[in-house]
Amino acid sequence: MGIKQALKSLDAFPRAEDHLMQKTQTGAVVSIIGLSIMAILFLHELTYYITTYTVHQMSVDLKRGETLPIHINMTFPSLPCDVVSVDAIDMSGKHEVDLDTNIWKLRLSKDGLIIGTEYISDLVEKGHTDHKHDADKDHDESSVQKHHAHGFGQDAEAMVKKAKQALANGEGCRVYGVLDVQRVAGNFHISVHGLNIFVAQQIFEGATHVNVSHVIHDLSFGPKYPGIHNPLDGTERILRGASGTFKYYIKVQHVTNTCISDVSMRELLYLILSLPSFHIC
Ligand SMILES: *[C@@H]1O[C@H](CO)[C@@H](O)[C@H](O)[C@H]1NC(C)=O
Ligand SMILES: *[C@@H]1O[C@H](CO)[C@@H](O)[C@H](O)[C@H]1NC(C)=O
């Protein structure tokens, strides 16, 4: 008897007296209103769950002073390393002299084998002063002549000889490394600008002989990210019978990857949890 009583007390759904279970008109009205509210709430929750909300967020970039690494791996099959120079300048007028630059120039033989390396530590310093030099000369024709007459040092002679030899051997150059730049607009050049104009004339004997054919193996911005596609990777520009300047205009957009799946999971959970609550009404 005691066990039966105890068992009975565990009944979670005790039955009401018969007179409490009569159906009435007011009861029906309450039921209809309740069911309508349930249906409306359910549909509302459902549409809320299904709809995609786009959230725009704008915030101040707090990473001031952080630099942007540019990974470069390019091959110039017909330009010896002796004549190739790299320089970079940004919108704030900052030369990449005092930044950590890790650029190597790899000398390539005619068959594409690496036959020597050169580390570039002071990117712009050299190129920039040379530029100034050139500009000064352009202003003053007579000084140009003077320079030409007896301005050629032993170094220049040796350099011309070396470069000509390299050109004759069909040497190429691979520029490889990382350039750390400020995160502002700017540009970098891989060019023969580093050469004194007279030296350049002696080496190439005419601008059309500067063969700037190149292959871009890798040109990427920021930290490496798996699966990212860099639009310029694999670009090949081979010139035949002409010279020129190639300019690539690149806009780098800062993207943050935020996982949103936990948000929709929460919504889903909320929907599931709210379903039984309809029955409680
Ligand atoms: C640069 O690209 C070439 C060609 O794809 C590749 O063989 C070489 O390993 C790359 N250099 C480095 C240091 O990644
Ligand atoms: C420039 O170099 C490329 C690659 O070595 C070669 O295919 C092309 O014929 C050269 N162009 C001229 C004008 O010599």
SS3 readout for the chain: CHHHHHHHHCCCCCCCCHHHHCCCHHHHHHHHHHHHHHHHHHHHHHHHHHCCCCCCCCCCCCCCCCEEEEEEEEEECCCCCCCCEEEEEECCCCECCCCCEEEEEEEECCCCCEEEEEEECCHHHHHHHHHHHHHHHHHCHHHHHHHHHHCCCHHHHHHHHHHHHHHHCCCEEEEEEEEEEECCCEEEEEECCCCCHHHHHHHHCCHHHCCCCEEEEEEEECCCCCCCCCCCCCEEECCCCCCCCCCCCCCCCCCCCCCCHHHHHHHHHHHHHHHHHHHHC
* pLDDT confidence tier of residue 278, bands split at 50, 70 and 90: very low
Output Rg (C-alpha) for the chain, integer angstroms: 37
Ligand nearest to the Cα of 211, by number: 2
Rounded to the nearest 10°, the torsion over CA 171, 176, 179, 185 is 70
For residue 152, pLDDT over 70 is answered with no
- Summarize the confidence of residues 179-202 as an average pLDDT: 81
Distance 97 CA to ligand 1 centre (A): 25
Task: Quote the CA–CA distance of 255 and 223 in Å, as a whole number.
Answer: 12
Q: Which range has the top average pLDDT, 33-37, 128-132, 141-145?
A: 33-37
Range scoring the smallest mean pLDDT among 35-44, 99-108, 147-156, 232-241: 147-156
CA of 210 to the centre of ligand 1 (A): 24
Ligand 2 mutation pick, 78, 205, 236, max ligand atoms within 8 A of CB: 78
**Residue 232 pLDDT > 70, yes or no?**
yes
Ligand 2 centroid to Cα of residue 121, in Å, is 29
Domain positions in the chain = 67-241
Residue among 229, 191, 231, 187 at smallest CA distance from 210: 191
The ligand that comes nearest to the alpha carbon of residue 102 is: 1
Torsion of CA 214, 182, 226, 217, to 10 degrees: 10
Q: How confident is the model at residue 200 (pLDDT cuts 50, 70, 90)?
A: confident
Average pLDDT of the residues in 177-191: 83
Confidence of residue 94 (pLDDT cuts 50, 70, 90): low
CA of 112 to the centre of ligand 2 (A): 14
Give the Cβ contact number of residue 52 at 10 Å: 6
- Report which ligand 2 atom has the smallest distance to the Cα of 242: 13
Ligand 1: residue whose CA is nearest its atom 10: 73
Overall pTM > 0.75: no
Which ligand is located closest to the Cα atom of residue 220?
1
Residue of 75, 217, 230 to test ligand 1 pocket, by largest number of atoms within 8 Å of CB: 217
Atom of ligand 1 at shortest range from CA of 215: 4
> 230 falls in which pLDDT band (50, 70, 90)?
confident
pLDDT band for position 180 (cuts 50, 70, 90): confident
Q: Which amino acid is at 183?
A: R
Q: Are 194 and 128 in contact (CB under 8 A)?
A: no
144 near 135, Cβ under 8 Å?
no
Of 2-6, 68-72, 255-259, least confident by mean pLDDT is 255-259
pLDDT at 7 over 80: yes
Residue 144 has pLDDT above 80, yes or no: no
Separation of CA 255 and ligand 2 centre (Å): 39
Pick 36 or 126 by higher pLDDT. Answer: 36
Q: Ligand 1 mean position to 243 CA, how many Å?
A: 25
